[in-house]
A and B are shown apart, each in its own frame.
Chain A
């Protein structure tokens, strides 16, 4: 796969060889970092983000929002194999959060619909705040 190139940097996407290599070698600590990043990009509704960066080689794994759930599922498969069940639950929570935030945004624009309960649920379960 030919990477996207810009300013001497190479950007690889979902399912690229680099992504698969990263996935095959990912540690528990790196999964924690990735899940924290995912929570931020899901909450901020970021369209694409640089998931992993290797500054020395000027290489990045850049992911589009349409692949977030696929990536979370890939990571979950690894967590199941490694019996890291706490992370599996975190991943399921993130997937649920992604759906609920989309639902909240849509319903919030419909006249006459009270989204207060959904908002409260999201705040309580995912430790978030709505500004």
Chain B
């Protein structure tokens, strides 16, 4: 699957509405930032987007498993 296909798939994503509103906003913002990075062929996403996503997930213990997955997948904890 190409980056273009990934972007098309990403653009179709809709954030669930049964989660806290602040979480909906940061997830939507993160998805938009990811699309922006892909469409503009940027090397990386500004750290604030991921930081804001992590900071908001951190507020909700029920989403800590998701947070652990993000930390693990991003390799941030190993740095």
Contacts and interface: CB of A to CB of B under 8 A. Distances in A.
Contact of A102 (B47, B51, B71): B71
Interface residues of B, number: 14
A113 B55 contact: yes
B65 to A, nearest CB: 9
Nearest to A106: B76
Interface residues of A, number: 14
A41 B10 CA distance: 40
Given A110-B47, A113-B48, A99 B55 contact: no
Q: Is the interface of B mostly helix, strand, loop or mixed?
A: helix
A96 B47 contact: no
Contacts of B26: none
Q: Tell me which of A99, A103, A107, A118 has the highest count of chain B C-beta atoms within 10 A of its own C-beta.
A: A103
B68 interface: yes
Contacts of A102: 71, 77
A103 B48 contact: no
A100 interface: yes
Given A111-B47, A112-B48, A103 B61 contact: no
Interface of A: 95-96, 99-100, 102-103, 105-107, 110-113, 118
18 contacts: A96-B61, A96-B64, A99-B58, A99-B64, A99-B68, A100-B58, A103-B55, A103-B58, A103-B67, A103-B71, A105-B77, A106-B76, A106-B77, A107-B54, A110-B47, A110-B48, A113-B51, A113-B52
Interface of B: 47-48, 51-52, 54-55, 58, 61, 64, 67-68, 71, 76-77
Given A110-B47, A111-B47, 11 more contacts: A99-B67, A100-B58, A102-B77, A106-B51, A106-B54, A106-B77, A107-B55, A110-B51, A113-B51, A113-B52, A118-B58
